[in-house]
Amino acid sequence: MKNKTTYGTIVPLIGGENIGVMNAMDGQFPEWVLSYKPFTANDEHFIDYIRGKGYSGEYTFLDEEGNEDYVPEKVDVVNTVCPCAGLSSLNVNSSTDSAANDWMYLTANYVLGKVKPRVFWGENAPRLYTKAGTGVSDKLVAIAKEHGYSLTLYYTESRLHGLSQIRPRTFYFFTDSETAPIFPWHRKPQESIEEILQQKPIKDDPMDITANKRSPYENSWLQYHLAATKTKTIAELQKTFAKTVNLIVNADGGYDKGLLEVADWMEANGHDSTGARARAMQAKLDQGKGYWGHGITMPRGSQIPSLIGALPTALLNPYTDNWITIRDCLRIMKMPDDFNLVGENPASKVNHICQNVPASTAEDMMKNVLLYLQGQTEFAPASFVRQNNKNQNVKTETGDEISNTQEIDAFFMEEGDHATRLL
């Protein structure tokens, strides 16, 4: 039986957010999928996945000739994953005025002005919540007011939703209400990164390949740590740490050695280029600056940093004595085990996994939306609020704090029966 609530998506990218929505909606497909041609390569993984599950709905490009005035079927909710490079901390040119933010404004104006759902929500960089993102949030507030919507910015971290990575993000919710809803707080027990990496491989899994084709034992930093700890394998080295460690950063002061001593070892053992890098890192520190330390990382304990940048090709798996596989990456993002990257060379597309929303985080955000549609949320005395799931505070546009003691668990029946309550 089809749920009463209907939804569509615009710019799904690889589809982690949409899979989270589907999980919250008991597997229900979107009524339609809209996008723009520049995102075809990212979208294709999700479209292939739902087509394989029986989705027969439309996948339409709004920038295709003849679609200038296209308006899809009316739905209650629209979700999106518009690119957030304009506010990303990994983008050296990031700013509130970045052209990369235009996709967010374009889709917001289109959805709110033409589709007019009860809720339009999406995901963006953590900076959207901060003062650094004020220029963007001001524009979103103006768009909300122009179309008769309120706006809630919801800052959270995926570790608070049970994931094994920190991954701070900001979600934005346009709602068809005079004042902005206040959503519940989310707290789930965190899954250990070690548990994920110890999961059994799937037979004949095309994603059981590494994106980094070189042996990790060729890595200079790993060789240095093995020598310093007198260990021989990645698994043995892992046991010397109490938590996840970036081996490049750990070399700076680790084992009571400075970077110049690390450089001496590198050069004495045939790693001249890495030795030069260690000296350059120390030179940066001497100038009162920092250095770029992203790279080879040893997972240990409950969590890793966000799965972005170099991590898909630089995170070790001590249980396979290798780098993590593409399947490991997908599991870290809580994608289903039957989800595959498409194309002849999936390793070349591993960064698409990073440009994603972890499915379980998105599922919790969709539960927020469903509570709003059912009239079960509280409301702020303002049309724009900032809500921080980490610190559990809510502030209005003027800085006034609002009390909120709602916990998501309070809205659920016993485990296994909550879908009835939400849907």
Q: Per residue, what are the HEC states of 286-330? A: HCCCCCCCCCCEECCCCCECCCCCCHHHHEEECCCCEECEHHHHH
Pick from 393, 376, 371, 373: nearest CA to 6: 373
- Which DSSP category does 30 fall into? P
Backbone angles phi, psi at 76, to 5 degrees: -80, -35
Quote the pLDDT of residue 405.
67
Pick from 215, 214, 236: nearest CA to 225: 236
State the amino acid at position 145 in one-letter form.
K
CA distance 190 to 58: 37
CA distance 343 to 349: 9
Pick from 312, 358, 368: nearest CA to 13: 358
DSSP per residue over 198-261, as a string?
Answer: TSPPPTT-TT-SBS--S-GGG-HHHHHHHHHHT--SHHHHHTT-SS-EEHHHHHTTGGG--HHH
State the amino acid at position 289 in one-letter form.
K
Structure-block tokens of residue 368: 């927020």
Quote the pLDDT of residue 267.
98
Longest alpha-carbon distance in the chain: 69
DSSP per residue over 63-93, as a string?
Answer: TSTT-TT------SEEEE----GGG-TT-TT
Pick from 271, 261, 282, 293: nearest CA to 223: 271
Which residues, 6 or more positions from 32, have their beta carbon under 8 angstroms from its beta carbon?
8, 9, 57, 58, 59, 60, 72, 73, 75
Measuring CA to CA, how many Å separate 209 from each of 29, 187, 212, 324, 341? 30, 33, 9, 8, 12
Pick from 401, 380, 400: nearest CA to 179: 380
The beta-strand segments (E) located in 7-70 are: 7-10, 32-35, 58-61
Q: How far apart are the first and last CA of the chain?
A: 11
CB 384, CB 151: distance < 8 Å:
yes
CB 278, CB 263: distance < 8 Å:
yes
User: Given the structure tokens 């249980």, which residue do they identify?
Assistant: 319
The pLDDT profile of the chain, 423 residues, written as one tens digit per residue, is: 355 899 999 999 999 999 999 999 999 999 999 999 999 999 999 999 999 999 999 999 999 999 989 999 999 999 999 875 444 443 334 444 555 678 999 999 999 999 999 999 999 989 999 888 899 999 999 999 999 999 999 999 999 999 999 999 999 999 999 999 999 999 999 999 999 999 999 999 999 999 999 999 999 999 999 999 999 999 999 999 999 999 999 999 999 999 999 999 999 999 999 999 999 999 999 999 999 888 999 999 999 999 998 999 999 999 999 999 999 999 999 999 999 999 999 999 999 999 899 999 999 999 999 999 999 999 999 999 999 999 999 998 777 787 776 766 554 333 333 333 333
Structure-block tokens of residue 45: 């993984």
User: Given the structure tokens 């059912």, which residue do they identify?
Assistant: 374
Quote the pLDDT of residue 408.
63
Quote the pLDDT of residue 423.
32
> Residue 399 class from Cβ within 10 Å (0-12 exposed, 13-18 middle, 19+ buried)?
exposed
CA distance 111 to 130: 25
Quote the pLDDT of residue 105.
93
Quote the pLDDT of residue 396.
87
Measuring CA to CA, how many Å separate 140 from each of 102, 186, 315? 11, 24, 36
Residues forming a β-bridge with 36: none
Quote the pLDDT of residue 100.
64
CB 296, CB 190: distance < 8 Å:
no
Quote the pLDDT of residue 400.
72
Backbone angles phi, psi at 3, to 5 degrees: -65, 155
Query: pLDDT digits over 116-146, tens only?
Result: 999 999 999 899 998 888 999 999 999 999 9
